Structure 1
Amino acid sequence: MILPIVAYGDPVLRKVAKDITQEYPKLEELITNMWETMYNAHGVGLAAPQVGLPIRLFVVDTAPFGDDEELDKEEQEQLKGFKKVFINAKIEAENGREWDFNEGCLSIPDIREDVKRKPEITIKYMDENFVSHTETYDGLLARVIQHEYDHIQGILFTDKLSSLKKRLLKSRLDKISKGKIDVEYKMKFPNIKKGR
């Protein structure tokens, strides 16, 4: 089932999400719905807060980046085959010199900006079967994971922009929160005026 994606301005996007257990109600169904929602919106990642749930869960499938000709063959192959569920994730280390990459977000449609992030991360998480993993990722994979991880920390990519850039985007962000935007997937807008 395709879930509505929560738009910028909703308080759930600002909450530090809570850990869950295997007993979380209908978890398997939720994960299936999150994949379906993400693919429907042509995303490469989706976090539970983006569908209104303040829990530490996100999904990532970087296959669309696998066709990027600017990347070397090895990175293309790595991105093509990467599809994972992250539960109760905790980034344990971020290393290297920050680099810029143009990011967007399903909760903030039509806004893309260069964001600085460290190139390598080590993350501890549980998969959908609650098996624990500690893994190190770099490059675009690390970036996508960092972006989704920020969501479960109550952080949006726009928070990482300069104060000037934030001021320049303010009216566009306000329009998104009020639903004054054309978007090709189901969304829930926090500041839509009732009775219109």
Structure 2
Amino acid sequence: MRLKTLFSSIVVSATLLSIPLHSHAWVSNVTDSTGNKNIGSATLNWVTGPWSSCDASSRSCGSSTGKQTRSVFCNAGNLNGSNATVSDNYCQSVSSSIGARPNDQKSCSRYWGACPPPPPPPSPPSPPSSSSSSGGGCSYSATVCGLYSNNLGRAPDAGGAAYWQSQINSGVSPAQLQQNFMAGVKGARDCNYTGNKAIQC
């Protein structure tokens, strides 16, 4: 009768304290604080500690993954009010009442900030310009620029360049092109440069 009254008192106290009874289970042969294995001497429940910080490795930017851990142990609450850590086997034997052992680790991630955008791809190399071929800042073909630079010491004028380029495009040989070019020289400046050797000077 006294044992029944004591058990009723525990249930009432647990109700007043809002203790979830479904998370505990009565067990026997658990050594209590007196050192005796008394039948019905303890209630069992899983106890978890706080999660550790995420161990994801640091990066200069972006995210990295890792894990968090915590302690999980089986607690025996004795009738005299004391608590003791006991083997997980005790709690696992009553898992239908108190639930399976909680996880002691979980995955996690850490964010280290936005990564800068990737650099743009390199530009393709520019084709050599006619000016670099002729060496005189000429913006026409190397052949036309050479005609004017080598024979007159100057860059071509737009009209002359267009005419001689058409001659080149029509298939005139280099020797004939040179001859025709010199035959077309005129004007005081160009005549003086050629030493008045051109036909029309």
Q: TM-score range by the shorter chain?
A: under 0.3
TM norm structure 2: 0.19
Higher relative contact order (CA 8 A, sep 6+): 1
Q: Which has the larger radius of gyration?
A: 2
TM norm structure 1: 0.19
